[in-house]
Amino acid sequence: MLTRYRKVSLAMLAIVSSAAPCGSRLLELDPLGGWTASQKTGAVVLVKAQEGPAATTFSLENVSGKLVTAIAASSPPTGTTSYRHFYDYLDGSSAGLPNGATYEFRISPQEAASNAQRAIEIDAVLFEDGSADGLQRDIDFMNAARLGRAYETRRISGLLTARSDAQSPDTDALARDIGDLPDSIDAALASLKDVDLTGLSLAKLRSPGGTDNQHAFLSGVRNAREEAQWQVKEMRQLPAASSADPGARTQSTFILALRQAYGGKTDMYRGLVQQLLGRLPK
């Protein structure tokens, strides 16, 4: 795996008078506003930084020539505090970040104030083809989170498919089946013990190695389960019975659409897990 380390900083091009430029002119001359980026991957680069009262926003441009599907970035550690940021496009509605497009992420005023170096670290990316670039620690973390999300998605898909009450869904029973958010890696693995996603049960797979990756796996499970809990809450807001309008949303049409959506997600994750099996830390 290619790992490159370099500093990226756009210096002010010129000072045309002895007077200090105004804020807009300064941003025009230096789109990074004095911030720098330490690159652990050259796939995405910092092209703009903008500070505001609510957040500091960084724009990262994909220059890899490939579709980026996840990004890891961080601020330099300050004492015992470490800020790490992860974004996985598979958790959203987009397939990924195309070449030439930009992704924006924000840090809080507290994080910005603690960043005396005015520097961010662009740590790792995952690509659509299953390859990755950057720090192995962050690549493993993002893959472990995906694995947790994949197995929880398959579990929920099975719950939806097995239900015989699609015409009159029992939302209370469905909420109980989905369950509470697991508070430990053991609780997450126990809830997934009967899930089969790739022809191998989770019990036969090597559990994610190291505390960091176990935390990532747990986070992936929790995120997917929380999303399902919100789906049930949305379903409860709909009428249970059909109306005179054949196009009206009801609990019945909602759960049928949910089955289809989770079936599609499961197929996507099945292929993804096949890619991950050879890449997870031993």
Task: Provide the residue ranges of all domains of the chain, joining segments of one domain with +.
Answer: 6-133, 137-276
Nearest to 88 by CA among 186, 227, 199, 184: 227
Model-wide pTM > 0.85: no
- Give residue 95's pLDDT: 87
- Give residue 13's pLDDT: 27
- Give residue 2's pLDDT: 37
Give per-10-residue mean pLDDT for the chain (282 aa).
35 31 53 91 95 94 97 85 88 88 93 90 94 94 92 93 80 94 93 81 61 89 96 91 72 90 88 72 50
- The token pair at 86 is 């992860």
Going along the chain, which residue ranges are E strands?
6-8, 36-39, 44-51, 56-62, 68-78, 81-88, 102-107, 119-127, 132-134
Contacts 24+ apart (CB under 8 A), 80-83: 81/114, 83/107, 83/111
Nearest to 150 by CA among 270, 70, 261, 279: 270
- Give residue 132's pLDDT: 95
- Give residue 9's pLDDT: 32
- The token pair at 30 is 């230096």
Contact 137, 154 (CB under 8 A): no
